[in-house]
């Protein structure tokens, strides 16, 4: 009985992974040469990107501040004020900004994307597109895919800057470390472009995870409104798990 | 012309178990320019049959041809080309939630033709007037009643003047007057365009006033295929009971 359950679970994982791979191949096939609906792309970039700015800004500012609060005791004890900029920058750029931004975008954009696609599936809107001789991958999926990956990349850059800003001003307020000292620590040479690039590579990987899971579970929705709820739940779970697993693997691969 | 030859369709439940046989060995032909009414009790396979015609699903067995094109073996690209000449109204209307009423109706023209914005607007206004929905162009589908959505669905299905049109319950949720108007409109347009039409409807009184031929589905089988008059005069017990709405009988 237990072996049967494990077997069924394994088959389900294999089936989902296979379906996501096929979906990724279909999307990539629409990119060269480009066969993506430009209006949908712009609309999704606005909806997913621009409208995510406030929540990402709040998250990033407070994340930077929290990092300084956590480091405050050690910095004071050892008088390591000069290293505050480096410490905050190292953690933010390589790990915290891409990870937290991905989790925020997964919750806001990924879940919403699945709900929208799932609703379109159960109300036959996707079938209606096909009957109108319009390829749903070019019209609906590829623009969302590009928008999610681009959004996460841009939001990570934005979050990097704001988190460091939050850290710098919290350092000043709590520890008396001036923004200039913080900046000097940040640019002292202990950090380099590789640290920024690591975070940005992660943001692209996380963007692919969110785009793939949200589009796959949306398109695979069955069973009316309850099915849409199940699909959203599956997206949130799979995205979060995928982000952490791939964060580990990417950190491992890019670690120096 | 639409041809079905020995078409069967089964769905396998996702959790396993015995397959659900939705269509069994269905064969019939809808001649060019014919308005074909498809009738039968609920869950007898009518909507599945419409989706098979347009290639949205593939049959488990059998052969389907639309204007000489083999739907079963066609690639997705070939099916896309075939669908350029097909209009379809879905049972749930399938209006695009994120588009206004006018954008929904204009959608096929915007995507598939090179008509100017003014020409498209004229066509949209004319369609809206036909389905008695003038003034609703800027409304969103979520703000419409079921009957209003149905009328917008009809307007979208007919705007491109397709040579083959499939209607799944075009009058469901409409009041008797609007329902009669819709059937007359669909008949007029079918006559004008000499389109081949397959229409599924539970409103038999009105449906049988516009059809040339009728097919009756029962438990996945086509148990009757003939002219409208033959259907009305049929002595086949199930056809007779269904068409005349008798409570006594084999159904």
**What pLDDT sits at residue B123?**
93
Q: Tokens representing A162?
A: 């704001």
Q: Give the closest-approach CA distance of B33 to chain A in angstroms.
A: 20
Residue B120 included in any domain: yes
pLDDT digits (tens, 9 = 90+) for A9-20: 888 889 999 999
What's the average model confidence in pLDDT over A193-201? 91
Residue A38 included in any domain: yes
pLDDT at A236 over 60: yes
Chain B, residues 101-140, CB within 8 A of chain A, namely 107-108, 111-112
Band the pLDDT of A106: cuts 50, 70, 90. Answer: very high
**What pLDDT sits at residue B14?**
67
**What pLDDT sits at residue A82?**
82
Residue B98 included in any domain: yes
Q: Give the closest-approach CA distance of A146 to chain B in angstroms.
A: 19
Percent of chain A with pLDDT over 90: 63
**What pLDDT sits at residue B27?**
96
Chain A residues close to B112, C-beta within 8 Å: 132-133
Mutate to test the interface with A, among B56, B158, B166 (most CBs of A within 10 A): B56
**What pLDDT sits at residue B192?**
83
Residue A13 included in any domain: no
**What pLDDT sits at residue B152?**
92
> Are A125 and B56 in contact (CB < 8 Å)?
no
Residue B46 included in any domain: yes
Residue A189 included in any domain: yes
Name the phi and psi angles at B159, rounded to 5: -70, -30
Mutate to test the interface with A, among B111, B113, B169 (most CBs of A within 10 A): B111
Chain B residues close to A231, C-beta within 8 Å: none
**What pLDDT sits at residue B212?**
94
> Residue B239's domain spans which residues?
31-58+73-244
Among the partner residues A120, A132, A135, nearest to B107 by beta-carbon distance: A132
Mutate to test the interface with A, among B98, B105, B141 (most CBs of A within 10 A): B98
Question: How many domains does the structure of chain A reveal?
Answer: 1
Residue B2 included in any domain: no
Residue B23 included in any domain: no
- Strands B69-70 and B61-66 come out as antiparallel
**What pLDDT sits at residue B15?**
66
Read off the CATH number of the domain in which B126 is found. 3.40.50.300
> Residue A53's domain spans which residues?
22-254
Residue B11 included in any domain: no
Please list the pLDDT of chain B residue by residue as tens digits (251 residues). Answer: 999 999 999 998 766 778 889 999 999 999 999 999 999 998 889 999 999 999 999 999 999 999 999 999 999 889 988 998 899 999 888 999 889 999 999 998 888 888 999 999 999 999 999 888 999 999 999 999 888 898 899 899 988 888 999 999 988 878 888 888 888 888 888 888 899 999 999 889 889 999 999 999 999 999 999 999 999 999 999 999 999 988 888 88
- The residues, ordered by sequence, that sit 6+ positions from A255 with a Cβ below 8 Å of its Cβ are none
Among the partner residues B54, B95, B96, nearest to A131 by beta-carbon distance: B54
Mutate to test the interface with A, among B74, B85, B88 (most CBs of A within 10 A): B88
Residue A6 included in any domain: no
Helix (H, G, I), strand (E, B) or coil at B198: strand
Residue B10 included in any domain: no
Residue A17 included in any domain: no
- The residues, ordered by sequence, that sit 6+ positions from B129 with a Cβ below 8 Å of its Cβ are none
- CA–CA distances in Å: residue B204 to residues B44, B172, B176, B227: 16, 12, 12, 14
- Strands B35-39 and B196-200 come out as parallel
Residue A12 included in any domain: no
User: Is the Cβ of B94 closer than 8 Å to some Cβ of chain A?
Assistant: yes
> Are A132 and B111 in contact (CB < 8 Å)?
yes
Among the partner residues B76, B88, B92, nearest to A131 by beta-carbon distance: B88
Band the pLDDT of A240: cuts 50, 70, 90. Answer: very high
Chain B residues close to A222, C-beta within 8 Å: 14
Among the partner residues B76, B80, B90, nearest to A128 by beta-carbon distance: B90
Chain B residues close to A125, C-beta within 8 Å: 94-97
pLDDT at A218 over 80: yes
> Are A127 and B51 in contact (CB < 8 Å)?
yes
> Are A133 and B97 in contact (CB < 8 Å)?
no
Query: How many CB pairs below 8 A link A and B?
Result: 47
Global ipTM: 0.86
pLDDT at A256 over 60: no
pLDDT at A255 over 80: no
> Are B83 and A133 in contact (CB < 8 Å)?
yes
Residue B26 included in any domain: no
Chain B, residues 28-57, CB within 8 A of chain A, namely 51, 54, 56
Residue A155 included in any domain: yes
> Are A123 and B56 in contact (CB < 8 Å)?
no
Chain B residues close to A133, C-beta within 8 Å: 80-81, 83-84, 111-112
Residue A2 included in any domain: no
Among the partner residues A128, A133, A135, nearest to B84 by beta-carbon distance: A133
Mutate to test the interface with B, among A7, A30, A128 (most CBs of B within 10 A): A128
Question: How many domains does the structure of chain B reveal?
Answer: 1
């Amino acid at each position: 009985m237990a072996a049967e359950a494990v077997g069924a679970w394994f088959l389900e994982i294999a089936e989902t992974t296979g379906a996501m791979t096929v979906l990724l191949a279909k999307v990539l096939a629409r990119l060269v040469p480009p066969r993506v609906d430009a209006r949908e792309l712009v609309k999704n970039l606005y909806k997913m990107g621009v409208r995510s700015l406030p929540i990402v800004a709040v998250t990033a500012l407070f994340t930077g501040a929290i990092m300084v609060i956590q480091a405050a005791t050690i910095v004071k004890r050892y008088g390591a004020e000069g290293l505050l900029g480096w410490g905050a920058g190292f953690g933010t750029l390589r790990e915290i900004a891409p990870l937290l931004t991905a989790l925020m975008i997964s919750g806001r954009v990924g879940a919403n994307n699945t709900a929208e696609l799932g609703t379109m599936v159960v109300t036959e809107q996707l079938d209606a597109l096909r009957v109108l001789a319009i390829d749903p991958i070019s019209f609906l999926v590829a623009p969302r895919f590009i928008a999610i990956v681009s959004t996460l990349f841009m939001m990570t850059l934005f979050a990097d800057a704001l988190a460091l800003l939050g850290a710098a001003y919290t350092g000043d307020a709590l520890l008396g470390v001036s923004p200039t000292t913080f900046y000097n620590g940040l640019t002292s040479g202990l950090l380099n472009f590789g640290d920024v690039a690591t975070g940005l590579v992660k943001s692209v990987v996380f963007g692919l995870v969110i785009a793939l899971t949200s589009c796959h579970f949306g398109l695979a929705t069955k069973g009316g409104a309850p099915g849409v709820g199940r699909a959203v739940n599956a997206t949130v779970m799979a995205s979060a798990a995928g982000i952490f697993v791939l964060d580990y693997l990417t950190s491992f691969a890019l670690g120096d | 012309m639409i041809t079905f030859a020995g078409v069967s369709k089964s769905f396998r439940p996702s959790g396993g178990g015995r397959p659900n046989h939705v269509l069994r060995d269905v064969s019939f032909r809808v001649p060019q320019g014919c308005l074909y009414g498809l009738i039968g009790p609920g869950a007898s396979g009518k909507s599945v049959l419409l989706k098979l015609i347009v290639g949205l699903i593939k049959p488990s067995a059998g052969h389907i041809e639309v204007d000489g094109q083999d739907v079963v073996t066609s690639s997705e690209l070939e099916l896309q080309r075939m669908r350029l000449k097909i209009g379809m109204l879905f049972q749930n209307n399938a209006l695009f939630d994120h588009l206004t009423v006018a954008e929904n109706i204009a959608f096929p023209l915007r995507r598939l033709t090179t008509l100017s914005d003014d020409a498209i607007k004229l066509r949209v206004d004319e369609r809206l007037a036909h389905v008695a929905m003038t003034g609703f162009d800027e409304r969103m589908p979520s703000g419409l009643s079921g009957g209003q959505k149905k009328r917008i669905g009809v307007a979208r299905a007919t705007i491109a003047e397709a040579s083959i049109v499939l209607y799944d319950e075009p009058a469901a949720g409409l009041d008797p007057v609007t329902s009669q108007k819709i059937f007359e409109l669909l008949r007029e347009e079918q006559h004008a365009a000499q389109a081949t039409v397959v229409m599924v409807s539970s409103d038999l009184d009105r449906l049988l006033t516009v059809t040339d031929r009728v097919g009756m589905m029962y438990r996945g089988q086509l148990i009757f295929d003939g002219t409208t008059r033959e259907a009305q005069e049929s002595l086949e017990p199930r056809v007779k009971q269904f068409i005349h709405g008798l409570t006594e009988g084999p159904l």
